[in-house]
Structure 1
Amino acid sequence: MTTESVTTNPWREGTTRVAPSVLAGIGAFAAVGVYVLVSSISLGLWTSLGPGPGLFPFAMGAVLAAMALLWLLQELRNPSETAAGVDRGLVIAVVASLVILAAVMDMLGFQLSMFAFLLYHLKIRGRRTWVSSLIIAVAGSFGAFYAFNYGLNVALPVSALPFLNAIGL
């Protein structure tokens, strides 16, 4: 299956239009942006102490909606060329690994489950060297865990298994 960004109109030779799949992507980004924008207003954009909890989501929703609009204008002005086919094996592998990650996160904790997820994608799917795969997986799992837990004070899940929890995983 190939996804094309440009399709030709058989009735008007030489003209191009934006492919429906590209319009669907633009519409999805615009819809998410507008939803976040509208939903964040109920959180409160400003408080007596300063920025409220809805200010950042409001800004991100506005940026996402604006980017979707710019993407639409860019595609209408100059539709992009034919894209390469989608590797279904890659899509299935990513979705399956995300489902597995979500399933084992509570049992193994963030550090081990994210380490295994990253190592799989870097070494097996991405065919990186063992050294670079291990360095990136350690930084992306253990490094992110400590950055969030101790730097940002945001708790990420720890292992539910007592022997892993006892050693801080």
Structure 2
Amino acid sequence: MKIKSQRDFWSGLMFVLVGLAFAVASSEYNFGSSARPGPAYFPFGLGVLLAVLGGMVLFKALTIESEGGDPIGAIAWRPLLVIVASIVVFGLMLPRFGLAITLPVLITLSAMASDEFHWKDALLNSVILTAGSWVIFVWGLKLVIPVWPTIFGA
């Protein structure tokens, strides 16, 4: 069997493996029922869905001819490292600086990974996503997430 698109083949294989890993790992938790789902219910469903989608991408990579075999290019190290660093910074900052400061820092740092970075877009995204995150997670779901820096005592 000939691989007709390298990009689709490797991304599909990665989706299948990650999906199966999540499905298998979640099987150690209680599934619950449809009316009262347990902690394994959602990750198992997402894992299976990801594996199925990966299988579809793999099928496409093996059946549909692409121009030049659609080779994989070089790894974009700078964006990869910037995104990973911004997630680490988020994890370190959140307990001390709260959601209101940490999330805009994460969004701005992550946006800097792009070659099309613009301050105006990053700041607008920061405001919208921070407000949306507060509404969904703090107000809606009532999660205990520090919103303000600990120096303000809120």
TM-score by length of 1: 0.69
Correspondence for 2:117 among 120, 127, 135: 127
SS of 2:85's equivalent? helix
SS of 1:155's equivalent? coil
Indicate the residue corresponding to 1:58 in structure 2.
Answer: 44
Is the 1:17–1:76 contact (alpha carbons within 8 Å) kept by the matching residues of 2?
yes
Q: Which runs of 5+ in 1 are unaligned?
A: 1-14
TM-fit CA distance, 1:159: 4.8
TM-fit CA distance, 1:76: 0.8
Q: 1:39 to 1:51 in 2, by over 3 A?
A: farther
What letter is aligned with 1:127?
Answer: F
TM-fit CA distance, 1:28: 3.1
CA distance in 2, matches of 1:32, 1:63: 11
Give the greater-gyration-radius structure (CA): 1
Is the 1:18–1:76 contact (alpha carbons within 8 Å) kept by the matching residues of 2?
yes
Runs of 4+ aligned structure 1 residues displaced above 6 Å come to: none
Cα-to-partner distance string for 1:114-166 (whole Å, 9 max, x where unaligned) = 11121234468442252x33221012123312321111222324456322x34
CA distance in 1, matches of 2:87, 2:28: 31
Greater fraction of residues in helix: 2
Is the 1:149–1:155 contact (alpha carbons within 8 Å) kept by the matching residues of 2?
yes
**What is the percent sequence identity of the aligned residues?**
20
TM-fit CA distance, 1:73: 0.8
Give the length in aligned residue pairs: 148
Cα-to-partner distance string for 1:38-73 (whole Å, 9 max, x where unaligned) = 3333433334x8242232222211101111111111
Q: Which has the higher contact order (CA 8 A, sep 6+)?
A: 2
Correspondence for 1:75 among 61, 72, 90: 61
Correspondence for 1:88 among 59, 67, 77: 77
Q: 1:101 to 1:129 in 2, by over 3 A?
A: closer
